[in-house]
Structure 1
Amino acid sequence: MPINASVRLFVKIQKYLAIATATACVIAIAPWIFTFGWQPLSSMPTNWGVFGDYIGGVLSAPLAFAGLVALLATIQQQQAFAQAEQNKSNNLRYFEGAVKCLERAYSTFHPLGVDAPKKDRLVWLTTARWLLAARDLSRQISSTSPALKTAYGVEEEHFRMLFYGFLDPTAVSGVFSVKEFFEGNFTREGAEIEERSARVILDFIEWPEGKVDAIDQVPLYTAAEVEAMNISLRGFKAFLHEKKRFQAERDQPN
């Protein structure tokens, strides 16, 4: 049970138990008052003993039941808190593990000092496996940790940019334009690149379907904002002036 739901349930049980206990006390005392309330308070201990036996006999069972329910509710709440802490710890481990996999994938694919993707079947396979491991770990982050999900999305976007910049899949002279790069020979480094490893990497660097680009939520400059720009931005200002939306405004008759 989610921690917030558990707390609400515990508070509700406490409220109902308080009402039930008060009601039981009223029900127990009301007949005694109705029957003997007209008499003055007794000064004899035996009479008070009888009254105590009556109250104890009538209320002991419901009060014991209320105590048992309260105990069970407390145990359930403690278990919910413990489970929430365990989930938080697990989610953090999933996040850290997923990010570590992304780091290993990129360091495998783009070692220091290497300027272009290497024709090495093992490198491509290992990179793809790290990317798949990162994906699987990130999916284990539960919805109870939205901040970690968002943080992983930021990390994933960072590495997507790094992979894309290194691979440059749209380049005319990039590795994906060279058939021989993926074909194999009789050396390990020259072995045929596993098709599925290339697919995993290409799928990773593509913009996720349905993902909203935060830049789309930023408004474009207005004409007034462009005119108010500092003189040091004159080159950028001139560039903006050539935008069609501003040209259309200038071409409109007064």
Structure 2
Amino acid sequence: MDFFNTLLSASAAIFTAITAGVALYISLRSDQKEKDKISDDSVIERCEIYLSRAYGLLASGPDGKSFPADPSRLNWMSAARMILAHQKLSPQIKLERNKLKMDAIQEYWRTRVVDLFTAFDFDVSYFSRRESNGMPIMPIESRSAGIIFDFLHWPEDKEDLMGQIDESSLKIPLRYKLAMNAIRANASRGASGLVRGVTSPVNIAGED
């Protein structure tokens, strides 16, 4: 009887230890996830600030957002540094859902800059201007321009979620059928160049 009591006590002790270990593991894992979430939130906030500041440095116009600003060497260098700061910081994001969130934020600001340049449709003489408002200006530094243009192209190693969609499977409400027909009819026209004489924003980013 003593043997069985001892065995039972030992089994209970082992079970208690295992239960406590599992509870501790779950607690530590939960704490780590919470720490990762807090860290990710901070990184995402800072990255969005960097990208919004980069856009603000490149934009001008009555509302501060309509057109590219005058070709300021300092502004382009500062915008490039903001983009580099974002690119250095964003890989620190740990949680997968937050990586997707960061991708969406980056794509939003990338599109804003592309739209900014495309809407203005500046030609290459923009980069050779020597004065602004009667004052001499320094030329834009080529590395800063390269960093900005590189940011505008879709990363080669990034999977486009749009490419996974079978358009025939999409359920289009009846009210939008005519709109979709018009969109499909015009789809072959393609997009206009980012700069006159350049066939696409990808080319200006240095791709063939």
TM-score band, normalised by shorter chain? 0.5 to 0.7
Q: Distance in 2 between matches of 1:145 and 1:189?
A: 48
Matches within 5 A, 1:67-82: 67-82=16-31
Given that 1:116 and 1:167 are in contact with CA atoms closer than 8 Å, whether structure 2 keeps it comes out as yes
CA distance in 2, matches of 1:213, 1:84: 26
Could you tell me the percent identity over the aligned residues? 23
| Structure 2, gaps ≥5 residues long | 169-176, 189-208
Mapped partners of 2:113, 2:143: distance in 1: 17
- Higher RCO by CA contacts (8 Å cutoff, separation 6 or greater): 2
Q: 1:55 to 1:155 in 2, by over 3 A?
A: same
Q: How does 1:11-50 map to 2 (within 5 A)?
A: none
Q: Give the superposition deviation at 1:106.
A: 0.8
Q: Does 1:195 align with 2:142?
A: yes
1:132 partnered with 2:80: no
**Taking structure 1 as the reference length, what is the TM-score of the superposition?**
0.54
Residue 95 (structure 1) aligned with residue 47 (structure 2): no
- Matched with 1:165 is 115
User: Is this contact kept in 2: 1:98–1:134, CA < 8 A?
Assistant: yes
In the alignment, the residues of structure 2 paired with residue 67 and residue 236 of structure 1 have an alpha-carbon distance, to the nearest angstrom, of: 68
What's the secondary structure of 1:153's corresponding residue? helix
Q: Relative to structure 1, is the Cα distance of residues 215 and 169 closer, same or farther in structure 2, using a 3 angstrom cutoff?
A: farther
Instruction: Map Cα deviations across residues 159-197 of structure 1 (whole Å, 9 max, x no partner).
Output: 1122112234995x52x455524x79xxx9723322221
Structural mapping, 1:218-237, within 5 Å: 219=167, 236=182
Counterpart of 1:151?
101
Distance 1:240 1:138, change over 3 A: same
Q: Distance in 1 between matches of 2:185 and 2:143?
A: 44
Which of 51, 57, 63 is the matching residue for 1:108? Answer: 57
> 2:127·2:139 contact (CA, 8 Å) conserved in 1?
no
Deviations along 1:19-65, one digit per CA (max 9) or x if unpaired, are xxxxxxxxxxxxxxxxxxxxxxxxxxxxxxxx5x5554444344334
How far apart, CA to CA, are the structure 2 residues paired with 1:206 and 1:58? 68
Question: Rg bigger for which structure?
Answer: 1
CA RMSD of aligned residues (A): 3.7
Give the Å deviation of 1:68.
2.7
Over 3 Å counting, the alpha-carbon distance change for 1:70 and 1:192 in structure 2 is: same
